Amino acid sequence: MGSILPCCLPFGKAGGLQILCCQGFEVNDYNFTLDALALKPSGFCNVRVQKTILKTKVAEISATFVPYIDFSQFRPPGILAVGHFQMIRFTVRRILWLGVVLMGLCAVTFFLSRIVPGDPASLYLGPRAKPEQVEYLRSQMGLDKPLYAQFFYYMRDLAHGDLGESLRTHRPVITGIIDHLPASLELMFCAIMIATLVGIPLGAISAKKENTLTDHLSRLFSVANASLPSFWLAMIAQIVFFKWLGLFPVGGRLDTVVGLISPIEKITGFYVLDSLLTGNWTALKSSVSHLVLPSFTLATYSTGVITRMTRSTMIEVLREDYITTARSIGIAEKEIVFVQGLRNALAPTLTTAGLCFAIMLTGTFFIELIFFWPGLGTYTTTAIFSNDYPVIMGVTILMAIFYVLVNLLVDLLIAVVDPRIRLG
């Protein structure tokens, strides 16, 4: 009689082994006991091989079974595994919590902005305004009403998408945010791409070569990246790569001459992407060169954190029994480390990368000021210095929404990458 053992994917047939979908696999031709299959592809098959397999049969198993295991054919259950209803319920609950967070954040920010010295009406009209003009504007802006009434009117306007009007530029706050947000997002996307493309492979290699020179150098690199202040690195990068080497520009998004000769047609607000879409190669070269220093500087902290997280989780995964058994039956080491091991270690790394990306929206403030980057950080800093509280509140609300949504997307992505995760 064959032994029926637990498995959750159809593997097909290999020699005397018949793998039954979602039921198990059956041993028909071999006179030994299998406790479970040795391989645990990306967490989708929770089975192992008993160590008492007869040695005389190991070579026969490897010859007949392993060639039939095609890991590229495994398709993660993804959304189907967690269930459509469960995922929708989880998403709705998080969005409702977003409303609660926004209410509390708006209340704290609103009342703090009213405590700060300064009259918004006087700031709006300027220093030459007459007292009667200031009083009239205060009445129009509702500043002569109690604070709770002002907060009620602000929340009413916010529900209609009205963030107010800037006291400095006299433009709607939402317009200013839309104008400056693409520059910050372009910088953030480039930085998080650099951080993940460098941090994840470096962490995996460091875990594979644990306690070797490569591992020590990788750990030193990650600690240095996570510890050094970004504003200091930004100034050092300007001195080295602009003043000494002359390789990259000191700041801005585009050369002034290029902006006059080959202006970028605005489609998305991302200069690199818009240059590609319109075939403006001169502007593309200039925008990429301006993006290098600020994006690498912004990516340093995230690179260090992602490297350390990947290394720690990979070390735990590579010590699992199914990894040891996979090595014993001759699967290539690269496939074990970078396919099986890394796939199972991705969940904590993705969480860390998502948090780093969300934090970057505030981390860009120093970088944008040092590199003269016309993004949301520069816009907000100017508003803080001029006590432009509608802009400050609008950007604060945007950051809260962005942070919660990024965390929501990361949770959903983790559930797709690792079906063992269940959304609560």
Domains of the chain (ranges; CATH) run: 4-75 (no CATH), 173-385 (1.10.3720.10)
Q: Model's pTM, two decimal places?
A: 0.76
Q: Which of 130-144, 256-270, 329-343, 410-424 has the lowest mean pLDDT?
A: 410-424
How far, in Å, are 30, 42, 80, 194, 251 from residue 351 at the CA level? 44, 17, 21, 16, 31
CA distance 63 to 415: 35
346-370 vs 173-208: helix axis angle to the nearest 10? 130
Q: What is the average pLDDT across 201-208?
A: 93
The confidence score (pLDDT) of residue 240 equals: 96
| 234 close to 366: Cβ distance less than 8 angstroms | yes
Collapse the DSSP code of 413 into the 3-class scheme (helix H, G, I; strand E, B; otherwise coil) and give the result: helix
The confidence score (pLDDT) of residue 64 equals: 37
| 356 close to 380: Cβ distance less than 8 angstroms | no
Q: What is the average pLDDT across 116-143?
A: 84
Q: What is the average pLDDT across 278-302?
A: 95
Taking every pair of Cα atoms in the chain, the longest distance, rounded to a whole number of angstroms, is 100
Q: Which of 164-178, 267-281, 312-326, 407-421 has the lowest mean pLDDT?
A: 407-421
Q: Which of 42-51, 181-190, 227-236 has the lowest mean pLDDT?
A: 42-51
Minimal CA–CA distance to 172: which of 404, 394, 416?
394
The confidence score (pLDDT) of residue 291 equals: 96
How far, in Å, are 61, 62, 143, 329, 343 from residue 56 at the CA level? 10, 11, 88, 13, 32
Minimal CA–CA distance to 349: which of 341, 229, 69, 176?
341
Q: What is the average pLDDT across 85-97?
A: 79
Give percent above pLDDT 70 in the chain.
78
Q: Which of 107-121, 125-139, 178-192, 279-293 has the lowest mean pLDDT?
A: 107-121
The confidence score (pLDDT) of residue 423 equals: 59
Question: Which residue is associated with the tokens 């001759």?
Answer: 330
Q: What is the average pLDDT across 71-86?
A: 48
Q: What is the average pLDDT across 135-145?
A: 87
Q: What is the average pLDDT across 30-38?
A: 36
| 156 close to 336: Cβ distance less than 8 angstroms | no
Query: Count of CB atoms within 10 A of residue 83's CB?
Result: 14
Residue-wise over 300-317: b if at least 16 C-beta within 10 A, else e? bbbbbbbbbbbbbbbbeb
145 pLDDT exceeds 60?
yes
Q: What is the average pLDDT across 168-191?
A: 94
Average pLDDT of the chain is: 79
More confident residue, 76 or 20: 76
47 pLDDT exceeds 80?
no
How does residue 71 score in pLDDT terms, banded at 50, 70 and 90?
A: very low
How does residue 83 score in pLDDT terms, banded at 50, 70 and 90?
A: low
Q: Which of 36-50, 226-240, 311-325, 337-351 has the lowest mean pLDDT?
A: 36-50
The confidence score (pLDDT) of residue 78 equals: 42
29 pLDDT exceeds 90?
no
More confident residue, 187 or 77: 187
